[in-house]
Structure 1
Amino acid sequence: MRRAVFALAALMLSAPVMAADYSPRTKNELAFAAILEEHQNYNTRLKNVAAPILKTNVALCPKTKRDIGISVHTLSDYQPNLQPFAEVLLGASDRLSVRTVRNGSPAYKSGVQQGDMIVGIEGAYMPGGFTVQRFFKAATQNAFKREKVALNIKRGEKRLTVEVKPETVCDYPANVFFNQRANGHTDGQQIIITSELMKTVPDDVNLALIIAHEMAHAIEGHQRKSKTLELKADRMALVLMTRAGFDIDRAITYWKDAAHPHTEFQKSSKTHPSIAERYENFRQEQARIKKLIAAKKPLTF
């Protein structure tokens, strides 16, 4: 099924689509529109699950940033043949607009909505074009240091000024990469989760475990994989999750009872521990965490 979907994507990429007021009509176009919508939903879910981990573990993160809880995009972020779909389905244009708003974020609380066009920050005009992403990043790095920031937006025909209070979070953003292989990894700068893994992860608690595991690798600066480092990242992940309020007992139980897509790979892998080794490692760290909580001691690595 997934191969068929990606084949449709390739077909659409090979056929230019041009229309000012485009709406999907053919079966192929509808299928590809569904892929784009699916990717949008995965991104939204990933941002929402990652948020408490990034927010509550600032004290343990060597890299932090000020953030309001949105992701932004323009049409130039998409390949030419995808742009009509992004324009219709996601509201993208040559101007910077809001792609996702994280639940409970400063932007969410201030009423910022998906599709809002960002026309200025603190009164400074936000241009369109290929360089707007870099301009936005530079502008927000300074503006978000303030306690409050005035965000100038256009919503339909209305122009609004929204006051947002940035917060400090760990600077390891989580992003979805569309790929048929179920995998998660980090390059040390961001956490990358494939669309196939997003699809196969049973619930948000176990998605949080994957995010926290990759974040642990990024925090420690792990460059090479080894069983020792994988087990260390698992232990660190439970700490990050507990501090963020996730149910680690539920996550650990999954490793004991569920079927895992990587079981055969991990049995023969020289760089990854077996399912049984990981489960026992989780149990030992779980016991340590419970002792720290019972003793009312700081929960650290």
Structure 2
Amino acid sequence: MPKLLSFLALLALAAPLRAEEPGAPLRALQALDQRVATIGHRIALANREICPKVEPVPGFSIHALDQYDPKARKIVAATFGFTDTPVVLLVAPGSAAERAGLKVGDRIAAMAGQTLAAAPSKKRSYARIKAFEERLESLLAQGPVDLIIAGDGQARTITLQPETGCASRVQLIPARRLNASADGTYAQLTTGIVAFAKNDDELALIVAHEMAHNILGHRARLDAQNVSRGLLKTFDGSAGKIKVTEKEADYLALYLMARAGFDIGAAPGFWDRYGRAMGPGFLSDGTHPGRGARMEAAKRAIAEIQAKQAAGQPLVPELPVTAS
């Protein structure tokens, strides 16, 4: 699901704004969001059998005028067709949402009999979207959910069927830096690192790595160990504990990728390019494996997976996939 976006950040990250296409930067970001969400959805569904926790995966995201800077709302409304209802931002291919007939740009007037129309807040707020996501997840946990889609003079009703996947959502964050992180619930990727990925296989590696952190419960484990994430991490042993979780996420990510049909052979080359781009400073605090070590570990995991594929064995990681 998309996080609260700064319109100024969108403009800074997108292509130069042209007078004849004032909404082009927003459309460009929407396309990136669609790409990341599609990969995350594919990984979540393909790995639900090995994930310790699953959750409803509706396969679409919405946005509302509330979440945008009031100064930018005129151009946002014109670009996405906002009125007083949330609008579908993206739909993942092959998802329950796509099968139900939901389309990008659909205006959702009601969910399970409750109207969603409301005047946008005067200040930028993500509360409306958060409430929608939480209620939708709760309803899908109980069964099918009816959505009423507003039309030009005639509304239509679609029924969203429950579908589960690994419990890790994916977010796109507008930022130039090459970064990705996991907070236990969301796998977050910057637009900078999405652009850095040469293809969807490399992007899937990044998404899978952060999802692996959430699947393995790394945030909770490190918190329970009182791990420092600031300057003290290099002196109190915290760096080594963080490094262990990075190695585990690197390993599990390749299984998540393989089970979802992505090319795991992209991993060594990506870690090589990424390590060179980040420079030695990134690796000097001891929280991540070195560039060469990361590449070699990827090659070993790839050989392990390929051997199982050749033998017709199920792709179950040797690392226990249980939340800490």
Over residues 218-276 of structure 1, what are the superposed CA-to-partner deviations in whole Å (9 max), with x where a residue is unaligned? 22232456333222210010111111111112333444578842243345342122211
- Trace 1:95-244 onto structure 2 (pairs within 5 A): 95-129=85-119, 132-223=128-219, 226-244=242-260
Post-superposition offset of 1:195? 1.0
Equivalence for 2:8: 9
Cα distance in 2, alignment partners of residues 229 and 119 from structure 1: 43
Q: Relative to 1, partners in 2 of residues 1:99 and 1:156: Cα closer, same or farther, differing over 3 Å?
A: farther
Verify the 8 A CA contact 2:182 2:210 in the aligned structure 1: yes
- Runs ≥4 in structure 1, deviation > 6 angstroms? 28-32
Quick check: 248-257 or 213-222, which moved more?
248-257
Q: 2:296 aligned with 1:296, yes or no?
A: no
Quick check: 107-116 or 244-253, which moved more?
244-253
Cα distance in 1, alignment partners of residues 68 and 205 from structure 2: 30
Q: Relative to 1, partners in 2 of residues 1:297 and 1:42: Cα closer, same or farther, differing over 3 Å?
A: closer
Q: Which amino acid aligns with 2:292?
A: A
Cα distance in 1, alignment partners of residues 282 and 138 from structure 2: 45
Matched residue SS, 2:209: helix
User: TM-score, with normalisation over the residues of structure 1?
Assistant: 0.82
Q: Which amino acid aligns with 1:220?
A: L
Q: Relative to 1, partners in 2 of residues 1:27 and 1:112: Cα closer, same or farther, differing over 3 Å?
A: closer
Cα distance in 1, alignment partners of residues 277 and 80 from structure 2: 32
Cα distance in 1, alignment partners of residues 17 and 300 from structure 2: 52
Verify the 8 A CA contact 2:109 2:148 in the aligned structure 1: yes
Verify the 8 A CA contact 1:266 1:274 in the aligned structure 2: no
Equivalence for 1:273: 289
Equivalence for 1:19: none
Q: Which amino acid aligns with 2:313?
A: K
Q: Relative to 1, partners in 2 of residues 1:282 and 1:192: Cα closer, same or farther, differing over 3 Å?
A: same
Post-superposition offset of 1:151? 1.6
Verify the 8 A CA contact 1:96 1:128 in the aligned structure 2: no
Count the aligned residue pairs: 282
Aligned-residue sequence identity (percent) comes to: 29
Cα distance in 2, alignment partners of residues 299 and 214 from structure 1: 19
Q: Indicate which of 66, 69, 75 corresponds to 2:65.
A: 75
Post-superposition offset of 1:27? 5.7
Over residues 166-191 of structure 1, what are the superposed CA-to-partner deviations in whole Å (9 max), with x where a residue is unaligned? 21022311111111211111111101
Q: Which amino acid aligns with 2:296?
A: E
Verify the 8 A CA contact 1:53 1:212 in the aligned structure 2: yes
Gaps of 5+ in 2: 1-6, 122-126, 223-238, 320-324
Cα distance in 2, alignment partners of residues 235 and 34 from structure 1: 38
Cα distance in 1, alignment partners of residues 128 and 271 from structure 2: 44
Q: Which has the higher contact order (CA 8 A, sep 6+)?
A: 2
Q: Relative to 1, partners in 2 of residues 1:268 and 1:94: Cα closer, same or farther, differing over 3 Å?
A: same
